[in-house]
Structure 1
Amino acid sequence: MQFIKTISIMTLFLFSAIAQAEIIHIDTAKTQSLIDEGIPIIDIRTKSEWKQTGIVEGSHLLTLFDERGRFDIEKWMSDLDKIAGKDKPFMLICAVGGRTAMLSQYLDSKAGYTQVHNVHRGIVQWIGENKPVVAYDEHAAADMSGQSGNSENMSVSTTTEGSTK
């Protein structure tokens, strides 16, 4: 039943937003440029995904779906508001850009966020182009965030090219 609910909500996100939303899809070069400008990047993947591939250094870790595919959009939006304002630019990244594309459409057309950038092809493309990632450290992330729940800010100084150590 939960799976059906999740699929229904994802479908609602997609179809309710498509007609109105203009998402700013960005490649890895533009992503790096915006990072260099200090624009926040929000990684919406699950903890297991962060552990598997690593993360873009400085990413705000804000899981949209848990390991079972469930989510709490009100909690997520509350956490997002602590990172980015509705009129401020920010980037969303996931594995290949699918989840963030749907979420970007929703944020733009239904929630009033005007400068949402979707990292097209996600962390897979980032790593595929040998861009640096850092290892996800759950304890460091929890210490840095100062909170529990699904929102973490991970800034680790050790980087590697396209893989984690």
Structure 2
Amino acid sequence: MKKILFVLFFLATSLFAELQQVWATPEFFEKNPTIKVIDIRTPGEWRETGIVKGSIPIMFFDEKGRFDLPKFLDELNKVVKKDEPFALICRTGSRTTEVSKFLAYRLGYKVINLKGGLMNLMRMGYRPVRYLK
């Protein structure tokens, strides 16, 4: 019985989940000027390279690969609604690939994973803004 309930819960969550995989390009930001972008890198990374203009830095994994899911979700829910599409970005797209799947398929968020991350944007000529904290 527990297995059946789990499968039903998973299927219901999957039906309402939405995950888009989109390359991180300057054109994405031009076409979606109001999309909220959550940068899940570490503060050291934000200071080193800067951030996408207007993005919201909320660290997911720390420098040692640990995470505090309740803290992350608390910060995320302060800036996005569960039914509101938003984008996730990291350095290369590796971390956001995993986090976006979890947020969409397990928790039902509407997530856009920015593949290639900030490094892809910078290769295409994008200049991040300075992180000021």
Same fold? TM cut 0.5: yes
Match of 2:79 in 1: 83
The one-letter code matched in structure 1 to 2:65 is G
TM-score, normalised by the number of residues in structure 1: 0.66
| Unaligned ranges ≥5, structure 1 | 1-15, 139-165
Name 1:33's counterpart in structure 2. Answer: 31
Which of these residues, 43, 46, 58, is aligned with residue 47 of structure 1? 43
CA distance in 1, matches of 2:39, 2:73: 14
1:61 corresponding residue in structure 2: 57
CA drift of 1:22 comes to 6.0
Q: What code does the residue aligned with 2:38 have?
A: I
Q: Deviations over 1:53-85 (max 9, x none)?
A: 111011100000112222110110111111111
Choose from 107, 114, 125 the match for 1:130. Answer: 125
Q: Give ranges in structure 2 of 5+ residues lacking alignment.
A: 1-9
Structure 1: distance between partners of 2:18 and 2:94: 15
Q: Would the aligned equivalents of 2:40 and 2:59 in 1 still touch at CA under 8 Å? A: yes
Whole-Å separation in 1 of the counterparts to 2:87 and 2:99: 11
Partner residue, 1:119: 114
Contact 1:40–1:60, Cα closer than 8 Å, also in 2 = yes
Q: Deviations over 1:2-57 (max 9, x none)?
A: xxxxxxxxxxxxxx9xxx576311121224422x1x11000000011111111101
Does the residue aligned with 1:133 lie in a helix, a strand or coil?
coil
Count of matched residue positions in the alignment of Structure 1 and Structure 2: 117
TM-score in terms of structure 2 length: 0.81
Match of 1:117, SS? strand
- Larger RCO, structures 1/2 (Cα 8 Å, 6+ apart): 2
Indicate conservation of the 8 Å contact 1:31/1:119, yes or no. Answer: no
* Distance in 1 (alpha carbons) for counterparts of 2:132 and 2:19: 31
Partners of 1:75 and 1:91 in 2: how far apart?
19
CA contact (8 A) 1:104 1:117 kept: yes
Aligned to 1:105: 101
- Sequence identity, in percent? 39
Question: Following the alignment from structure 1 to structure 2, what is the Cα–Cα distance between the partners of residues 69 and 32?
Answer: 32
